[in-house]
Amino acid sequence: NVDAHVVYVPVNAHHFLVMALLYDITELKGIERMQMDFVGNVSHELKTPITAITGFTETLLQGAMDDRQTREEFLKIVYQESLKLTELVEDILSLARIDSKPQLNISELNLHDFIVSILKTFKPELEKKQIEANLQISDHCQVNIDKSKLQHVVNNLIQNGIKYNQTGGKLWINAKIRKNDWYLSIRDTGYGIAKDEQERIFERFYRIDTSRSRQNGGTGLGLSVVKEYVKALSGKIEVKSQVGVGSTFTVTFPLEMKDNPS
């Protein structure tokens, strides 16, 4: 099961060099295969963009550079694959860091202002897909939390809420403080997630539709990082979703946060 990218490079007036880039999109099936060694997965995922970058630059250096259109097309691929590599390395490093020993840095935070400032950074992506983001958070929501870890969680959930949303869709961000805990939920009007996939999306490298997720530039690591961060913050994450309607991801945290719980 393979995704192919074929490029024709004019060598001279009569000959073309045909370059095919093959992506293995075989769906990982069954629990045993899903538990495949993390290192194996990592090296496979890293090799794909590296192979593309090496292959395309090599062809450019061998003469493809002379043709302006080819040069642009190849450089675009090299650039996109470099971005993907960066995203992958960042996610892998986040997982490695949290796996070793999560350090917490608890401080007081106004949830309303925090979400407003995060949403600002997503403005270009929201505008590009014409997604309307609605905030339902009181101005007085003060919580104690590790700001940078929560930021990572919220960034990932909002990013997915945009990536897997439809053009012209909606996003609702809602937060509330209760007696002993507080929650934050992000609801989208996207593809939705089937019941039997709702747990699996938190597994490392799991993607529902590999070609669709690849198009969206996903690494398949985002939600596993989110899950680890939420755990480090003594919280929990839940998803409610309906295919074709949308998804709601809710994170819940205790009101009493201690530095570095054992």
Sites of contact with ligand ADP (CB under 6 A): 160-161, 164, 188, 190-191, 193, 201, 206-209, 213, 218-224, 247
Sorted by sequence, the CB contacts under 8 Å of residue 184 that are 6+ apart come out as: 111, 115, 154, 173, 174, 175, 250, 251
Closest-CB residue for ligand ADP?
A: 218
* C-beta of residue 194 within 8 angstroms of C-beta of residue 243: yes
User: What does DSSP say about strands 132-136 and 142-146: parallel, antiparallel, or unpaired?
Assistant: unpaired
Whose CA is closest to 241, among 213, 202, 183? 202
- Shortest Å, Cβ 186 to ligand ADP: 8
- Shortest Å, Cβ 116 to ligand ADP: 21
Q: How many CB atoms lie within 10 A of CB 35?
A: 11
* C-beta of residue 254 within 8 angstroms of C-beta of residue 195: no
Helices 147-163, 111-121: inter-axial angle, 10-degree rounding: 50
Closest CB to ligand ADP among residues 24, 66: 24
Closest CB to ligand ADP among residues 70, 156: 156
Closest CB to ligand ADP among residues 204, 257: 204
Structure letter (DSSP) for residue 60: H
Closest CB to ligand ADP among residues 70, 94: 94
d(CA 179, CA 31): 39
| Dihedral sign of CA atoms 143, 224, 195, 159 in order | positive
Structure letter (DSSP) for residue 62: T
The letter for the amino acid at 227 is K
Closest CB to ligand ADP among residues 67, 203: 203
Closest CB to ligand ADP among residues 177, 237: 237
| Dihedral sign of CA atoms 50, 54, 60, 64 in order | negative
